[in-house]
């Protein structure tokens, strides 16, 4: 079986690990540019190369990260009409999203994105359960939940050596919201839904934004499956605009506050590696690690690796959960709903829920290196046996195979005609 | 304008002498809720002269005009104690000896101890007085600030405000119906009486950066419900150092201003968390079975309501007529109970209230009132107590016994007179008082 991957990333190694042949399709936007910014024009231009490549090396599926496999073929007969490349070549497109919808299609017009997402042969694997559920609620077909994972590669599986600890406590990650930048000014009304959602979730953390927005605030009726697509698109746009502040505050709740707190509490004993902390909060931080080896090795040379999930995730784990554990590092992370689906908490990683508990656990594990080492080894075993991208690829292919009629005879939505501004 | 205040008056020979033993003459506004309670506490009530505009937000100039009226009154009456709500009776008189534009607190010039009872944050009063002057008045130890909320009292002390007394609100001493509630309430099954906790979302725009500290505190509060803003601000996150006595008055006032500016967003968050969300929820879930009484709900949250009830007898009857009186807190309270808590229970109504830190200090939860801590819990409790009228009636009676025996303003007046002895012995332990406002 041959898998076509967009770019030479973790899906190539995952496919190779699972014994598949791989053909690499070039990205619509050349590195180091952000692939999420690919415009309709870039996605149309690259399609020609993809068609050539797929003609030369036929594949059974296209696999991408974040919808970078969405590309367009113009109709020769009608230049205003387009089809999606994967539909054109009658292949399933398997996209894994590790960022929200509003982030991954920055280069495309909102209505175009939503019309494209109606494709039944496009399998959208979303890392976060509430975000998968909200896409389904807006009528997007083939949405599946699939967590992130660690890259398939060689990992050092030797037990941690406490003598090689270089950092007592560390967090690797950036300050990722510009919502609070000094120049920003925002309508106060736009904060209402997010404030309500966080107020309610303070007492009921299992309630998601979608439920609060539609079952509670209900500025409009929730979308229904038989509703015209244009109406659903408009509702989705309104919904995600209201969600913006919710995500910004989630960033503060799940990441920023703990970084600020620990810098004040621990000073230089807390190694902060990532961008923008100095600009946003005036905190001393170190630049990002230069290579993947340096990145993974850092986790092994740090006694306690902290993990704070970003503001774009309600319940799903981030890459760092898998990277720290795959590297064999000891992970102490903010409690996150999907964590217990993936790891045995207290045995394979540790969690905290508040500032006090964070400090308590840091003290405890600094004083008990043997427990740290034991947990790190168990965490590594779990990730290397269950949470690599090769494991995820198997699941994606399984899911795609259970809908052969969609994959083999993809729909060509008429609504796409003229929808994408190239 | 420069105002020079006198030295502290709550020293050993100027406090209400033998305050717990003899009948004192206590002055308050003519329409004060304290009037009947002062008498019920065994003391003599004297009404202050009526003022043209006793607004607690009036200007210093207006308070100087009022000062002449009060000074004459204090000289003609032997007043042992002056009490008011939120500085309505705080006035000034010119103090020529201290300078050409200097003023003194009127009560102090006449050796009258003065206590002001705050049922909202101190920063919500004297709004037409510039912040520096306002803060200097608050820093003066010549009066007692009786604050209803423990967290607010502690933050004021940390900010250097002396003579802060933390004591809950209560309800005025009035006649209440002591009959058990009827099994079938003649009014709505569920009701809330009050206004929206915030209208901030109707303001045009905001700089998100200005909100960040408040949002960090709000986020931390979600995981640490027992932690208060001043602890998050000063202890957890160390956003600033509290003011100290060695700093200039202007610097101290500036620090306090920054503190409260940062707290604003946190208060908005609490306003939604502690009140507005539940009103919206109840309207959605219960429709017209939920009676909402108050003002401004359509423009703030988009729900319809009945107009406020102005007469106290009508208000108390309304509490008794509905099946379940829901109590929701405003955003400016972190721990302290509101007036409604005491009024509903004193009236003999059945109270279902959002959980609040100080509640268990004053009521036996589950026996004298019932709490909820989420939308689910609220709905469950409404269903349960609607289906169990006997329990509702029993709890309402027990709540009424508690309120009438311990939570009337006459009880607070007695406690206050004891507390003044405590307060004056601790005066001066915080920021050293200063006398010049500029």
At residue B426, does pLDDT exceed 70? no
Helix (H, G, I), strand (E, B) or coil at A349: strand
Would you call B207 and A184 a contact, using CB atoms and an 8 Å cutoff? yes
* Residue-level pLDDT at A402: 36
At residue B177, does pLDDT exceed 80? yes
* Residue-level pLDDT at B18: 53
**Facing residue for A187 by CB, picked from B204, B215, B224:** B204
d(CA A315, CA B284): 27
Residue B269 contacts A where some CB pair is shorter than 8 Å: yes
Q: Sort out which chain A residues have CB atoms less than 8 A from B203's CB and list them.
A: 188
At residue B8, does pLDDT exceed 60? no
Report CA dihedral (B214, B217, B219, B223) to the nearest 10 degrees.
Answer: -160
Local confidence band at B301 (pLDDT 50, 70, 90 cut-offs): confident
A-B C-beta contacts closer than 8 Å: 103
Q: What is the ipTM of this complex?
A: 0.89
Local confidence band at A76 (pLDDT 50, 70, 90 cut-offs): confident
At residue B1, does pLDDT exceed 90? no
Number of CB atoms found within 10 A of residue B85's CB = 20
Local confidence band at B17 (pLDDT 50, 70, 90 cut-offs): low
Q: Sort out which chain B residues have CB atoms less than 8 A from A355's CB and list them.
A: 220, 223-224, 236
Give the DSSP H/E element, type plus range, for residue A95. strand A93-97
How, if at all, do strands A72-74 and A82-84 pair? antiparallel
* Residue-level pLDDT at B331: 96
The string of pLDDT tens digits covering residues B58-69 is: 999 999 999 999
Residue B226 contacts A where some CB pair is shorter than 8 Å: no
Token pair, residue A393, equals 């690829």
**Facing residue for A180 by CB, picked from B201, B212, B224:** B212
Between these two residues, B17 and B355, which has the higher pLDDT value? B355
* Residue-level pLDDT at A401: 80
CA closest to B209 among chain A residues:
A180
Residue B222 contacts A where some CB pair is shorter than 8 Å: yes
Test mutation, B196, B199, B216, B267, chain A, max A CBs within 10 A? B216
d(CA B306, CA B292): 6
At residue B47, does pLDDT exceed 70? yes
**Facing residue for A261 by CB, picked from B202, B206, B236:** B236
Q: Sort out which chain B residues have CB atoms less than 8 A from A186's CB and list them.
A: 205-208
Q: Which of A149, A172, A150, A147 is nearest to A313 (CA)?
A: A147
Q: Sort out which chain A residues have CB atoms less than 8 A from B375's CB and list them.
A: 200, 203-204
Residue B264 contacts A where some CB pair is shorter than 8 Å: no
| Cα distances (Å, whole numbers) of residue A47 to A6, A53, B310 | 11, 10, 72
Residue B221 contacts A where some CB pair is shorter than 8 Å: yes
Number of CB atoms found within 10 A of residue B251's CB = 12
Closest Cα in chain B, distance from residue A213 (Å): 12
Would you call A257 and B219 a contact, using CB atoms and an 8 Å cutoff? yes
The string of pLDDT tens digits covering residues B212-242 is: 999 999 999 999 999 999 999 999 999 999 9
Q: Sort out which chain B residues have CB atoms less than 8 A from A215's CB and list them.
A: 284
Closest Cα in chain B, distance from residue A233 (Å): 25
Chain A residues with CB-CB distance to B under 8 A?
179-182, 184-189, 191-192, 195-196, 198-204, 215-218, 248-249, 252-253, 256-257, 260-261, 264, 353-356
At residue A216, does pLDDT exceed 90? no
* Residue-level pLDDT at A407: 37
Would you call A356 and B200 a contact, using CB atoms and an 8 Å cutoff? no
Test mutation, A249, A309, A310, A311, chain B, max B CBs within 10 A? A249
* Predicted TM-score (pTM) of this structure: 0.91
Give the DSSP H/E element, type plus range, for residue B398. helix B389-406
Which residue do the tokens 């497109």 mark? A93
Residue B374 contacts A where some CB pair is shorter than 8 Å: yes
The string of pLDDT tens digits covering residues A31-59 is: 888 999 999 999 999 999 999 999 999 99
Would you call B224 and A354 a contact, using CB atoms and an 8 Å cutoff? yes
How, if at all, do strands B92-94 and A72-74 pair? unpaired
- Alpha-helical runs (H) found in B41-177: 60-76, 106-109, 131-139, 150-158
Query: Does a cis peptide bond (omega within 30 degrees of 0) precede residue A195?
Result: no
Residue B379 contacts A where some CB pair is shorter than 8 Å: no
């Amino acid at each position: 079986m041959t898998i076509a991957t967009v770019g030479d990333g973790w899906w190539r190694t995952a496919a190779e690990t699972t014994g598949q042949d791989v053909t690499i399709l070039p990205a619509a936007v050349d590195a180091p540019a952000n692939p999420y910014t690919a415009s309709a024009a870039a996605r149309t231009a690259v399609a020609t190369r993809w068609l050539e490549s797929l003609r030369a090396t036929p594949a059974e599926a296209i696999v991408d990260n974040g919808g970078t496999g969405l590309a367009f073929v113009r109709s020769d007969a009608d230049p205003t009409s387009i089809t999606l490349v994967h539909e054109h070549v009658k292949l399933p497109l398997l996209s894994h999203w590790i960022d929200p919808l509003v982030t991954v299609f920055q280069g495309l017009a909102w209505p175009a994105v939503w019309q494209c997402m109606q494709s039944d042969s496009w399998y959208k694997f979303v890392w976060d359960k509430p975000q998968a559920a909200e896409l389904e609620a807006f009528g997007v077909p083939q949405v599946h939940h699939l967590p992130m994972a660690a890259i398939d590669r060689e990992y050092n599986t030797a037990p941690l050596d406490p003598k090689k600890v270089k950092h007592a406590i560390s967090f690797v990650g950036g300050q990722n919201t510009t919502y609070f930048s000094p120049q920003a000014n925002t309508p106060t009304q736009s904060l209402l839904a997010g404030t309500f959602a966080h107020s309610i979730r303070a007492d009921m953390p299992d309630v998601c934004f979608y439920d609060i927005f539609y079952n509670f605030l209900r500025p409009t009726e929730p979308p229904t499956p038989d509703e015209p697509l244009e109406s659903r698109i408009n509702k989705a746009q309104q919904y995600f605009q209201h969600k913006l502040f919710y995500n910004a505050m989630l960033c503060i709740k799940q990441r920023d506050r703990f970084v600020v707190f620990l810098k004040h509490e621990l000073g230089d004993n807390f190694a902060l590696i990532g961008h923008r902390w100095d600009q946003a909060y005036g905190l001393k931080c170190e630049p990002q690690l230069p290579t993947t080896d340096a990145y993974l090795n850092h986790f092994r040379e740090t006694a306690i690796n902290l993990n704070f999930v970003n503001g774009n995730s309600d319940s799903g784990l981030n890459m760092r959960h898998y990277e720290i554990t795959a590297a064999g590092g000891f992970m102490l992370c903010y409690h996150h709903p999907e964590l217990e689906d993936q790891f045995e908490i207290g045995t394979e990683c540790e969690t905290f829920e508040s500032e006090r508990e964070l400090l308590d656990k840091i003290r405890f594990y600094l004083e008990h290196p043997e427990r740290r080492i034991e947990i790190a080894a168990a965490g590594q075993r779990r990730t290397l046996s269950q949470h690599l991208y090769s494991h995820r690829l198997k699941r994606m292919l399984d899911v795609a195979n259970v809908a052969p009629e969609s994959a083999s005879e993809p729909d060509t939505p008429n609504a796409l005609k003229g929808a994408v501004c190239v | 304008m420069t105002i020079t205040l006198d030295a502290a008056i709550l020293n050993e020979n100027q406090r209400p002498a033998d305050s717990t033993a003899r009948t004192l003459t206590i002055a308050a506004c003519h329409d004060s809720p304290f009037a009947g309670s002062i008498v019920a506490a065994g003391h003599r009530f004297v009404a202050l002269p009526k003022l043209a505009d006793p607004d607690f937000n009036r200007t210093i100039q207006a308070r100087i005009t009022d000062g002449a009226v009060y000074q004459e009154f204090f000289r003609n009456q032997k007043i042992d104690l002056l009490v008011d709500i939120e500085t309505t009776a705080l006035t000034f008189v010119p103090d020529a000896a201290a300078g050409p534009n200097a003023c003194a607190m009127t009560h102090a010039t006449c050796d009258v101890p003065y206590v002001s009872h705050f049922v909202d944050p101190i920063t919500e009063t004297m709004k037409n007085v510039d912040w520096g002057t306002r803060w200097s008045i608050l820093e003066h130890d010549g009066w007692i600030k009786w604050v209803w909320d423990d967290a607010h009292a502690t933050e004021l002390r940390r900010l250097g405000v002396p003579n802060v007394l933390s004591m809950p609100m209560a309800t005025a001493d009035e006649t209440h119906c002591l009959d058990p509630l009827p099994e079938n309430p003649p009014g709505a099954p569920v009701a809330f009486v009050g206004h929206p906790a915030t209208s901030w979302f109707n303001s045009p725009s905001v700089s998100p950066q200005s909100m960040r500290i408040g949002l960090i505190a709000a986020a931390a509060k979600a995981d640490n419900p027992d932690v208060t803003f001043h602890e998050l601000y000063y202890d957890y996150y160390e956003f600033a150092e509290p003011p100290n006595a060695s700093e200039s008055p202007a610097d101290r006032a500036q620090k306090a201003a920054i503190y409260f500016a940062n707290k604003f967003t946190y208060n908005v968050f609490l306003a939604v968390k502690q009140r507005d969300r539940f009103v919206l929820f109840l309207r959605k879930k219960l429709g017209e079975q939920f009676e909402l009484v108050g003002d401004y709900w359509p423009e703030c949250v988009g729900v319809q309501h009945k107009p406020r009830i102005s007469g106290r007898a009508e208000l108390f009857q309304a509490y008794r007529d509905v099946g379940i009186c829901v109590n929701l807190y405003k955003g400016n309270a972190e721990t302290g109970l509101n007036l409604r808590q005491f009024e509903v229970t004193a009236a003999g109504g059945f109270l279902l209230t959002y959980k609040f830190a100080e509640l268990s200090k004053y009521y036996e939860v589950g026996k004298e009132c019932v709490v909820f801590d989420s939308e689910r819990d609220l709905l469950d409790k409404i269903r349960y107590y609607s289906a169990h009228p006997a329990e509702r009636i029993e709890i309402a009676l027990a709540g009424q016994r508690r309120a009438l025996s311990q939570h009337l303003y006459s009880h607070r007046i007695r406690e206050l007179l004891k507390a003044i002895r405590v307060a004056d012995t601790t005066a001066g332990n915080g920021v050293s008082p200063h006398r010049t406002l500029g």
